[in-house]
Amino acid sequence: MLSPEEFREEYDDEELAAELPDSPISSLRSIQYLYGKLYTLGTLGGGQYAPYLTPDAADDIIDTEDSLIVVRVDVSDDEPSLADDDRGPVWVTRYSDDLVQSVSHCKYPAARGIDHSVTHQAGQNSNPEKLARYAKERLTKWPVDDEVQDVADEHVDGWIIDALAALGENEETLESVESGVTDALGGESTTALLTVQVKTEPDGDYRWPGEIDGFMEAMRRRKLSKLVTKNKADDSSGDATDLVTGDGARTVGTAEDPQNYFLGKQLEKFPGLDIEEAWRSHPISEDAAITVMNADTFVDECSYRTFGAKVYYLPYFQRVPTPDSARELYGLLYHATKDEDMTPVERAYQELRNRESEYELRFYVSAVMPHQMSRYDVFGETMNGRLLYPKTLAVEHNNVVDKTAAFQSDSGRTAPMPTHDGWDLLTEDNNRLHPVSTGWYFRETFAERDDDEAAADDPRIEALIAVLSGDSIAVETLLEEYVDRIDTDENDETVESFPSFRVASQFAQLCALATDELDLLSTDDPGKESITREPNYEEDSMETAAQILATDGGNAAAEKLETFIEDTPALAHDPDASLNDQRRGAFLLGVLIGEVGGYQNYSEERSTTLIDQYPVKSITRTRIKKVTQEAIGKTITYTRNEDRTITLFEHVVERLRETILRPDPDEWEIETDDLRFYYALGVTYGMNDHPDWEQTETDTEEES
Amino acid sequence: MTRQSLDKSVSEGSTERIVPERCLSLTVRGPWGHFRRVEGNIVKQTYRIIPRTTIAGLLAAVLGIGRDEYYDLFGPDASAVAIEPVRELRTVNMPMNTLSTAAGDLTSLNGRGKISIKLPDPTNLRQQHNYEVLVEPAYRIDVWLSDADRFEELASMLDAGKSHYVPSLGLSEHLADIEFHGVFDIEPIDEGAERVEIDSAVPGGFDDVIMDAGHRCQIEESPAFMTADQGGRTTTAFTTYAYNPDAGPLTVSGADAARVGDRTVVFV
């Protein structure tokens, strides 16, 4: 395949413009058509037969041992015979790059049947007997195929095809081919292409299939015939408007498409989907059909598997393709075939960052579940994916965990949310685009499921497609998934105590999704609307007036709590969002449980704490009051034990009392998942809330 | 003002278009909708914007015109249609249990009689297929027909809330509710206008749309016109629409927009 530089040299603006469609890219077929064009230009170039060949089908055996088996035939005499020169009738060699054109392979993408070209691809590691049979079929099966015979009757090279067929009737010849193959391979199995070389002139050389027009024409005819006769159709073709170019043309009904979205059969609930009439419901011209089929390589390279589904992520530039945008796209696709580690999302970002074209760049995105060859489900799909969303999400997540006061602190007290080097969603990661684009980003935070058995309603796939395409995710879905995962972790015996790092990861994700620029959270419930708003945590590490006051003897813990609540739209008091007060109540209760639990753990060295006593799943609206009373009761007990004058965790208790009384929890309307997630967030906050030991130590060292 | 260029977004069509002076206006809505995209029959994805051909079929159903008999009435020279999504365009995956309709799985009922129908065997095992379904779709539709009799007939049918066949949104199980708004004059807008806020989907794709951060803008191509022949029907032209999935307006330069009441739309 031409490198992007070679491609640029090979085709000037004018040549390229002539090949490109003149209508805007606006459907999956038009993207596939453009890909097919670029692929053909980048591999076999122009020419009458290039679009019909599949030069990549045997890509993996290029330059491997024994990868090309050639049956050599001399038809220059009246009596056709096998070659009797030094090289002999069967030549086993390497299938090298410079032979791709000569061998002119055209694969028939089906398990049974022979390839369209005289050149045929054998299965992986075929044994010599099988290969010998395939070698013989070059003479017995291909030349006598109906379509090939039609060409033989009309074409000037027809006699060569007939000569092959005649040889195929000779038992002796076939035995020689068989023994030739088995002898040459010495009993070893191999993965190979099988082809022929033919000497047509007494003084001439042995010629490859690519050098014999009759063979190429027969290949073309065989491939075209499949466009109208697959799946038992006799001739599904007719004159209609080509859906790719919009021009009137002979259209065909049973062409393949790289994603297999349209197959000729299935009457189903759409009347008129009769296989013979398939060209009516899916009118595609012969030329466009062939070109679309050629998109296969590029389309495949722009896909990856996740959650048991196959995600297609096909870049294109909006509007009518220009030579410049076509070259840019070719570059993207070319690199896709060379680089296995990156998802197309990352690759596009690598290639296009800081370039103006980014806005024009769009993606066709779909998640496909192939149940069987002919039964596909698409779980999410859009023509309108934009790089902006996954990229900005990756950046915003980094920003939240690395730069905001919600996760970072230098005030002498810990940040509201804990961070941990072992948790990828809690540390800055310059490669975050990878987990975002593969969906791992949601696998980490959502409820666990069996990845091999993706279901249409797997919220992780929905969330992934939403991020790739810029659609929003329902906050309700997130809360449900989050709480479910927290519960799993709490019951997991390998996870020690409360899963606070999980909760912190989820919270970071929630904040990143709520970013104004992305606006990826949605809700129909006015009570949850505040969760979808971007939080306004300080990004600056400058000391605020409050912090300065705190060092002067103010209550640092209280200030921190106050600030966190004020900066979190879902928790702050808001006359327009009445549920905020209830949510804050749940959060504050969590904070107190977390604080007391932490105290019990460190100061009292108790292994079972309030945190274990009140797991997230046990929290309901009806239990809120009771749990609150018990938690406050505990603080009073510990305060007495310590002989303190000020109640332990007074800053929490005071706020909790204020919030929990008005309205009375008996009248709360907040939904359970909402309640539980913010309770869990509170527990996480409370457990993490203490003077910053690291920083205190550093300070002490400096002083000494 | 060249109203002929109305059809420049249409991949095939005549060059002369009659200038519509008035149109009737209706809103179709329903709890669900599914407009099968031509790229797939194995997969069941839906268009977001109700295709023009579907509107033609829907209105023909109101008028009581049979399948394959109404394409001329809604042909490129004989009609104009503008489509405006009036609710946010949202889809869900709806798995449905279906029976195989492959030829081998169909049995004839009353095979020798005058009326014979083929049915799948109801005792067969179902296969589950995933349909992408629009949730509560609603479109405001402005229609002009050159056939004055049909136009008046349609207006009076809609006004009376009547319909010959049951109107539906794509599939027969997705029933449609039609609200009639009346007949409006169409006032063309000077094409020289640099920025026009368009309420309807904009034919022609992205080319005329001024992108701005405030509005999401998406694109799709769907069938626009059909014709019938002896064997059935074929699509004669497709239209590419740019649309705002949040059902808000799009800012456009140089489009052939027209005012209908207090709205600005583009006809195809």
Looking at residue A684, its pLDDT comes to: 96
Check CB contact under 8 Å for B11 and A272: no
Of the pLDDT bands very low, low, confident and very high (cuts 50, 70, 90), residue B175 is: very high
Burial A219-230 (b: 16+ CB within 10 A, else e): bbbbbbbbbbbb
| A241 in reach of chain B (CB within 8 A) | yes
Which residues in A lie closer than 8 A to residue B227 (C-beta atoms)?
none
Which residues in B lie closer than 8 A to residue A384 (C-beta atoms)?
218-219
- On the question of pLDDT at B22 being above 90, the answer is yes
pLDDT tens-digit readout, A534-564 = 998 887 555 555 555 555 456 788 888 989 9
Check CB contact under 8 Å for B132 and A381: yes
Higher pLDDT, A305 or A267: A305
| pTM of the shown model | 0.84
Which residues in A lie closer than 8 A to residue B165 (C-beta atoms)?
none
Looking at residue A601, its pLDDT comes to: 82
Looking at residue A267, its pLDDT comes to: 60
Check CB contact under 8 Å for B237 and A241: yes
Query: What interface predicted TM-score (ipTM) does this complex get?
Result: 0.88
Of the pLDDT bands very low, low, confident and very high (cuts 50, 70, 90), residue A700 is: very low
CA distance B197 to chain A (A): 20
- On the question of pLDDT at A165 being above 90, the answer is yes
Helix, coil or strand: residue A46: coil
Looking at residue A375, its pLDDT comes to: 67
| B219, B231, B238: residue with CB nearest A246 | B238
Token pair for residue A480?
């449900």
Q: Which residue is closest to B245 within chain A, CA to CA?
A: A471
CA distance B156 to chain A (A): 30
Check CB contact under 8 Å for B207 and A381: no
Which residues in A lie closer than 8 A to residue B40 (C-beta atoms)?
261-262, 378
Which of residues 175 through 214 in chain B touch A, CB cutoff 8 A?
205-207, 211
| A241, A260, A263: residue with CB nearest B234 | A241
How far apart are alpha carbons B245 and B86 in whole angstroms?
A: 10
CA distance B104 to chain A (A): 11
Helix (H) or strand (E) holding A379: strand A375-385
Which of residues 456 through 475 in chain A touch B, CB cutoff 8 A?
456-457, 470
pLDDT tens-digit readout, A72-111 = 999 998 888 999 888 989 999 999 988 998 999 998 877 6
pLDDT tens-digit readout, A462-503 = 899 899 888 889 999 999 999 999 999 998 887 777 899 999
pLDDT tens-digit readout, A354-365 = 666 666 888 999
Query: Which phi and psi (to 5°) does residue B155 adopt?
Result: -60, -45
List beta partners, residue B94.
B131
Looking at residue B226, its pLDDT comes to: 95
Check CB contact under 8 Å for A283 and B235: yes
Specify whether the CB–CB gap between A479 and A673 falls below 8 A.
yes
Of the pLDDT bands very low, low, confident and very high (cuts 50, 70, 90), residue B16 is: very low
- When the pLDDT of each residue in chain B is averaged and rounded to a whole number, the result is 86
Check CB contact under 8 Å for B238 and A280: no
Looking at residue A704, its pLDDT comes to: 35
Per-residue pLDDT, averaged over B219-234, amounts to 92
Looking at residue A542, its pLDDT comes to: 53
How many residue pairs bridge chain A and chain B with CB atoms within 8 Å of each other? 128
Token pair for residue A521?
């959270």
Query: Which phi and psi (to 5°) does residue A248 adopt?
Result: -70, 140
Per-residue pLDDT, averaged over A271-278, amounts to 73
Looking at residue B18, its pLDDT comes to: 52
Which of residues 251 through 270 in chain A touch B, CB cutoff 8 A?
257, 260-263, 265-270
Per-residue pLDDT, averaged over A213-233, amounts to 88
| A30 in reach of chain B (CB within 8 A) | yes
Which of residues 134 through 173 in chain A touch B, CB cutoff 8 A?
none
DSSP-derived secondary structure for chain B = --GGGGGGGBSS--S--PPP-EEEEEEEE-SEE--B-TT-SSSB-B-SSPPHHHHHHHHHHHHTPPTTSSTTTTSTTTEEEEEEE-S---EEEEEEEE---SGGGEEEESTTSSS-EEEE-TTSPPEEEEEEEEES-EEEEEEEES-HHHHHHHHHHHHTT--SS--BSSSTTSB-EEEEEEEEEEEE--TT-S-EEE-S-EETGGGGB---TTS--EEEEEEEEEEEETTEEEEEEEEEEEE-TTS--EEESS--EEEETTEEEE--
How far apart are alpha carbons A557 and A550 in whole angstroms?
A: 9
Q: Which residue is closest to A381 within chain B, CA to CA?
A: B45
Q: Tell me what percent of the residues of chain A surpass a pLDDT of 90.
A: 49
pLDDT tens-digit readout, B47-87 = 999 999 999 999 999 999 998 999 999 999 899 999 999 99
| B166 in reach of chain A (CB within 8 A) | no
Per-residue pLDDT, averaged over B189-211, amounts to 82
CA distance A674 to chain B (A): 23
Number of other residues whose CB lies within 10 A of the CB of residue A420:
13
Which of residues 300 through 359 in chain A touch B, CB cutoff 8 A?
318-320, 359
Amino acid at A105: H
pLDDT tens-digit readout, A572-599 = 988 888 899 999 999 999 999 999 988 8
- On the question of pLDDT at A353 being above 90, the answer is no
pLDDT tens-digit readout, A569-579 = 999 988 888 89
How far apart are alpha carbons A519 and A512 in whole angstroms?
A: 9
- Taking only Cα atoms into account, the Rg of chain A, rounded to an integer number of angstroms, comes to 34
Per-residue pLDDT, averaged over A399-412, amounts to 87
| B247 in reach of chain A (CB within 8 A) | no
Looking at residue A547, its pLDDT comes to: 52
| A499 in reach of chain B (CB within 8 A) | no
Mutate to test the interface with B, among A232, A241, A369, A473 (most CBs of B within 10 A): A241
CA distance A25 to chain B (A): 9
- On the question of pLDDT at A263 being above 80, the answer is no
Which residues in B lie closer than 8 A to residue A237 (C-beta atoms)?
none
Check CB contact under 8 Å for B41 and A270: yes
| A273, A359, A456: residue with CB nearest B41 | A273
| B38, B39, B206: residue with CB nearest A318 | B206
| A27, A266, A379: residue with CB nearest B101 | A266
Check CB contact under 8 Å for A261 and B43: yes
Instruction: Tally the C-alpha atoms within 13 A of residue A688's C-alpha that lie toward its C-beta.
Output: 25
pLDDT tens-digit readout, A46-69 = 678 888 998 888 888 999 989 999
How far apart are alpha carbons B133 and A54 in whole angstroms?
A: 37
Of the pLDDT bands very low, low, confident and very high (cuts 50, 70, 90), residue A659 is: confident
Check CB contact under 8 Å for B12 and A241: yes
Per-residue pLDDT, averaged over A609-618, amounts to 91
| A282 in reach of chain B (CB within 8 A) | yes
CA distance B182 to chain A (A): 32
Number of other residues whose CB lies within 10 A of the CB of residue A213:
15
Check CB contact under 8 Å for A283 and B234: yes
pLDDT tens-digit readout, A180-207 = 999 999 889 999 999 999 999 998 999 9
C-alpha angle A262-A264-A269 in degrees, rounded to nearest 5: 80
How far apart are alpha carbons A385 and A314 in whole angstroms?
A: 9
Of the pLDDT bands very low, low, confident and very high (cuts 50, 70, 90), residue A211 is: very high
Looking at residue A695, its pLDDT comes to: 54
| B230 in reach of chain A (CB within 8 A) | no
| B43, B235, B237: residue with CB nearest A378 | B43
Mutate to test the interface with B, among A274, A318, A363, A518 (most CBs of B within 10 A): A318
Mutate to test the interface with B, among A32, A235, A261 (most CBs of B within 10 A): A261
CA distance B45 to chain A (A): 8
| B205, B211, B238: residue with CB nearest A243 | B238
Looking at residue A46, its pLDDT comes to: 67
Which residues in B lie closer than 8 A to residue A255 (C-beta atoms)?
none
Check CB contact under 8 Å for A384 and B237: no
Looking at residue B95, its pLDDT comes to: 84
Helix (H) or strand (E) holding A385: strand A375-385
| A27, A270, A470: residue with CB nearest B216 | A470
Looking at residue A112, its pLDDT comes to: 66
In 3D space, the residue among A38, A34, A167, A195 whose CA is nearest the CA of residue A106 turns out to be A195
List beta partners, residue B226.
B235
How far apart are alpha carbons A321 and A17 in whole angstroms?
A: 8
Per-residue pLDDT, averaged over B121-149, amounts to 91
Q: Which of A8-12, A58-62, B2-6, B37-41 has the highest mean pLDDT?
A: A8-12
Which of residues 44 through 103 in chain B touch A, CB cutoff 8 A?
44-45, 93, 95, 98, 101-103
